[in-house]
Amino acid sequence: MNSGTGGATDKPIEITMVASEMFPFAKSGGLGDVIGALPPALGRMGHQVCVYLPAYRAVLNEYDPGSPAQVADVFAEARYEIFSLEHEGVSVRLVGADDLFDRAGFYGDARGAFPDNAERFARFARGALSHMERERAHPSIIHCHDWQSALVPPLLKYRRTGDEKWSGVSTVFTIHNLAYQGRFHPDDFAHTCLPDEAMGLDGLEFHGDLNFMKGGILFSDVFSTVSERYAQEMLTEEQGEGLEGVVVFRKDALFGIMNGIDDAVWNPESDPHIPARFSSARPEAKAACKAALQKELGLDLDAEGPLCVVVSRLAHQKGIDLILETMDELMGLGVSLAVLGTGEEDLEQGLAEAASAHPGRVAFAPAYDEALSHRMYAGGDVLLMPSRYEPSGLNQLYAMRYGALPYVRRVGGLADSVISSPTPEADSDTGFHFDAFEPADFLTGMERICRVFLEQGLWRMMMRNAMEKDSGWDGVAPRYVELYEKAMRPQPR
């Protein structure tokens, strides 16, 4: 794994991102936040950035981007409609492909993942590259994210050999979550329009299946993930999700860059979604946000312990089962709990049962609600994030900005971004950690939090540290520029 990326230059770079989410247009998790904020931050540095996004029905309905350009596929017999929008100085192109994106849901619906996802995202990659080629837009960097755009690097590799204009274009592939790989039946390979040789052991073949993410890792010039610690973890059998061999093979081209936050959207001093504004210098109004949240969710106002909040996809990754398993002990410690999230049925059911078993102490909002998420961070004393693994995590960064101290498992980006020293707490602490994914370890940390919560001076100091931590994208974007410069130089293979 690489730790340094070398010096940045001031020369503007033409950067094209290809991704399946972008806030505010389409967001289901942190990827949307990253693509909504990193391109404008690169734009502010003087670089020219464009983003390709699927033309989801919800985006077309809400943003009305006008008439599309008609584009023929350069790889096969197919056509695309390319719509255009703008977001904070960034041009956004929406790739419409027949009815593949014109439906409710990004990746699936109540019945599960869409059965034609291989075709959908193969067409997305082909459509984006076809449009670039037709427009004669050959950026210096194409930056792809996760499996949904992972076919771009292999498609480009083969395109480069036949077409000179592509030879100066370098690719960067960022992994936001190694567990979601885009693994499909080998027959789906036909949708990729890659030559047969690309479906070999040193290509997209993975235990007999087709694996999009493997293509992104193998064929990009450099690849990265969203924290330094997760970059290390991806190399191991425990966290490598079966792809560790491939990641190790290319480890000299691997970098870890911790995510930032959009501090215009996530700012308790100006946030339109919260009932009272506050800052690290004037934190008093946070108490009003807490009371309003308790009232909104039907929680007791006179609870003595901290109000713990969770804002999360309810997925195995996030370790919500550990909270359910320790619910009685948590109640015994005097904490209150508010959870906002949707996802796996058993977790939703467990949380609903906990809420009815502990009225006034546990609240569960089974929804995806952007505005409520802001009120949760603003009103919470503690954010719980007991993730099994966490490539970066943004929730803990938002929570810190809003003075809710994160209680996180010491993994991935959670370990890299939350400062917690062994007892006694140090002057620089911004939250709390636990290590083993075990009820006993989790509860020991919770007991400590309840003790510190009663020490008002110490708690306030930690809140101030957390709120003053600078996590803005303007500090992170230059690291991506270094990465792009690295990609533009030949890499070891």
User: Which has the closest alpha carbon to 36: 47, 26, 48?
Assistant: 26
List 34, 35, 132, 309, residue binding ligand GLC (CB under 6 A): 34
List 130, 259, 294, 430, residue binding ligand GLC (CB under 6 A): 259
Residues 346-405 that bind ligand GLC (CB under 6 A): 390-394
Tell me the site size for ligand ADP, rule CB under 6 A: 17
- Asked if 267 interacts with ligand ADP (CB under 6 A), we say no
Cα 22 from Cα 54, distance rounded (Å): 10
Candidate ranges 40-48, 130-138, 390-398, 414-422; the one touching ligand ADP (CB under 6 A): 390-398
Using alpha carbons only, what angle is made at residue 241 by residues 239 and 245, rounded to the nearest 5 degrees?
Answer: 90
Question: Among ligand ADP, ligand GLC, none, what binds residue 339 when CB lies within 5 to 8 Å by partner kind?
Answer: none
Q: By C-beta, is 193 or 310 nearer to ligand ADP?
A: 310
Q: By C-beta, is 5 or 392 nearer to ligand ADP?
A: 392
Q: By C-beta, is 153 or 391 nearer to ligand ADP?
A: 391
The residue number with the shortest CB distance to ligand ADP is 30
Q: Please report how close the Cβ of residue 143 comes to ligand GLC at its closest, in angstroms.
A: 13
Each residue 392-411 as x (binds ligand ADP by CB under 6 A) or -, in order, gives xxxx----------------
For the sheet with 336-343, list strands across it: 362-365, 336-343, 307-314, 382-385, 405-409, 432-434
- Asked if 29 interacts with ligand ADP (CB under 6 A), we say yes
- Asked if 323 interacts with ligand ADP (CB under 6 A), we say no
Q: What is the CA radius of gyration of the chain?
A: 23
Q: By C-beta, is 57 or 388 nearer to ligand GLC?
A: 388
Residue type, 376: M
Cα 324 from Cα 352, distance rounded (Å): 11
24: preceding bond cis by omega (within 30 degrees): yes
Residues 72-111 that bind ligand GLC (CB under 6 A): none
List 15, 18, 33, 38, residue binding ligand ADP (CB under 6 A): 33
In b/e form, how buried is each residue of 98-113, taking b as 16+ CB within 10 angstroms? eebbeeeebbeeeeee
Residues 292-321 that bind ligand ADP (CB under 6 A): 311-313
Q: Please report how close the Cβ of residue 474 comes to ligand GLC at its closest, in angstroms.
A: 17
Beta bridge partner(s), residue 308: 337, 382
Distances (CA, A) of 122 to 101, 156, 230, 368: 12, 13, 27, 28
Residue type, 61: N
153 neighbors 173 (Cβ within 8 angstroms): yes
Cα 222 from Cα 49, distance rounded (Å): 19
Residue type, 185: H
Question: Among ligand GLC, ligand ADP, none, what binds residue 157 when CB lies within 5 to 8 Å by partner kind?
Answer: none
Chain positions contacting ligand GLC, by CB under 6 A: 29-31, 34, 176-177, 226, 259, 390-394, 413
Chain positions contacting ligand ADP, by CB under 6 A: 29-30, 33, 311-313, 340-342, 368-370, 373, 392-395
